[in-house]
Amino acid sequence: MNENHNSEQPSVCPKCGEEVRHWQVRCRNCGELLDKSAGRDIPEPEEPQQGGWHLGCLIIGLIAIPAWFYICSFFLLWGDDYLGFWDIFFHPAFIIPAILYLAFLLWFNRSALGFTLVLMGRLWGSKYGRVGIAASGVVLIAVIVFAVGRTQHQATLNILHYDGTDWSQMSGNSKRDLNAVWGSSASDVFAVGEIGTILHYNGSTWDRMSSATGKSLNSIWGSSSSDIFAVGNTGTILRYDGNSWKHMQSGTQNDLYGIWGSSSFDVFTIGRKGTILHYDGNVWNEMSSGTEEWLRGVWGNSSSDVFTVGSEGVILHYDGDTWSQMSIAAGIFKGSASTLQAVWGSSSTDVIVVGSISLHYDGTVHSVFNRYDGEMHIEDSTWTEMKGSPTGVSIWGSSSSDVYCVGMPGYILNYDGEFWRNINIINMDIRLKGVWGSSSTDVFAVGHKE
């Protein structure tokens, strides 16, 4: 009777008071050896000895990996593009530490996973255990929701669009600062900016492209949808063939600020210290500009009629053979000369330059008679200040009576052929740096947040 009674009734551990069965050699809670005589012949048990350690593994295992995902998403997205869930999941910053952490748990406490269900069952039988498990679940769900929520966030891009009636801010998956925009059509538009950022618009959404560079890109131009050039800092030149962007050898370390061409084998790019490079379809060659001023913008009407502008009010013209400096009407620059930022024209007799002042060239030249050789020579060609003279850093137009200028925060200017008028953009917090359109009812402007 006594033996049967012992087999049915549990006793307690003399050390911690935990209930034990008669067949137990050690207490599961504290590890105390219960059968002193049997202990000499029985090896150390392989089962876990510390329930508290397993509880910690359970809670940390439930929370640590999602928490690390959230931390990674926070830092990866800090000042960067908004990434998708799988972009972050497979990012080395997340996946490598996560794998190492799981491997550590398995190596350090091999039975933790197998013991989890038993432990949860035991914990659920007590009030504090239920509270702990419930709290862990709440934290786990909250972390996952916040982490996934961050990856699904849709940013407002630093891009404005005009549909012929209103300007509106576009949405997409990047919050990078943008410097320039160009497209081959309304459904094939490219924007470039800081740290090698290239975005592509297919007519409905903006998508990030791989540029294979971390240099800031300052300008973009193309001859077609499958032949596009982008230029940037330290002589960076990229070319897009319709599938991917590839580096080109520029032969310079100077920053490049503008690019334009008449065809895929006649392209000009300009930049610091009077840098002018020309691409003939095979290689980039340096041209003599005759100036050390920083050149900011370039545009042409043909391969033998190209303009570039820059600091100290410099305006250069290329006639197909050489670059020469053009004159500006006297009295326009008061005090020190101004920096000219961009140039655009509707024809060779209708060219506009913007910067800290706006100038217009109508193609008029002043000729003088040389009494020594008896021939007429071109003496001067004059740029004159425009009415309303806005300041800006980029210019584009659909015609001579529909021109857009951007650059200063809070406004976009439109020229109707006679006057510049200010277009008020409500709640605009973007300093615009580039503008381009496919038509008068499809215009894009890009920039960076103030």
The single-letter DSSP state of residue 83 is: P
| Residue 177: per-residue pLDDT | 86
Exposed / middle / buried, residue 416 (Cβ in 10 Å: 0-12, 13-18, 19+)? exposed
- Is the same domain home to 130 and 276? no
Domain extent for 8: 2-39
80: its two tokens: 């960067």
What pLDDT sits at residue 140?
A: 56
The chain-wide mean pLDDT, for the chain, equals 76
pTM higher than 0.75 for the full model?
Answer: no
Spatial distance between the Cα atoms of 450 and 443, rounded to a whole number of angstroms: 21
The pLDDT value given to residue 76: 53
Asked whether residue 30 falls in the same domain as residue 131, the answer is: no
Select the more confidently predicted residue: 120 or 412.
Answer: 412
> Are 208 and 222 in a shared domain?
yes
Give the C-alpha distances (Å, rounded to integers) separating 145 from 70, 101, 133, 140, 151.
9, 22, 18, 9, 10
Examine the domain organization and report whether 94 and 216 are in the same domain. no
Task: Give the pLDDT confidence score for residue 339 in this predicted structure.
Answer: 85
What are 195-204's contacts with CB under 8 Å, separation 24+? 196/232, 197/81, 198/230, 198/245, 199/157, 199/159, 199/172, 199/174, 201/444
DSSP 26: B
316 pLDDT above the threshold of 60 = yes
Collapsing DSSP to helix, strand or coil, 145 comes out as helix
Q: Is the domain of 28 the same as that of 108?
A: no
pLDDT-above-90 percentage for the chain: 39
The predicted-structure confidence for 196-234, as pLDDT tens digits, reads as follows: 999 999 999 998 898 888 899 999 999 999 999 999 999
| Distance set, CA 196 to CA 138, 208, 261, 295, 301 (Å) | 41, 11, 22, 21, 29
Q: Percentage of the chain with pLDDT > 70?
A: 60
Claim to verify: residue 290 and residue 198 sit in the same structural domain: yes
Looking at the domain assignment, is residue 127 inside a domain?
yes
Last residue of a domain, one of 122, 151, 180: 151
pLDDT in tens, 393-439: 999 999 999 999 998 766 788 998 888 888 866 556 778 899 999 99
Q: What is the pLDDT of residues 150-201, one digit of tens each?
A: 444 445 678 899 998 888 888 776 778 899 999 999 999 999 998 899 999 9
Q: For the chain, what is the radius of gyration of the CA atoms?
A: 35
Residues 300, 184 share a domain = yes
Interacting residues of 92 by C-beta distance below 8 A, sequence separation 6+ = none
Based on the domain organization, do 167 and 98 belong to the same domain?
A: no
Same domain, yes or no, for 204 and 339? yes
Residue 56 has pLDDT above 90, yes or no: no
Residues 15 and 74 in one domain: no
Instruction: Identify whether residues 377 and 303 lie together within a single domain.
Output: yes
| Residue found under tokens 């005090």 | 335
Residues 77 and 224 in one domain: no
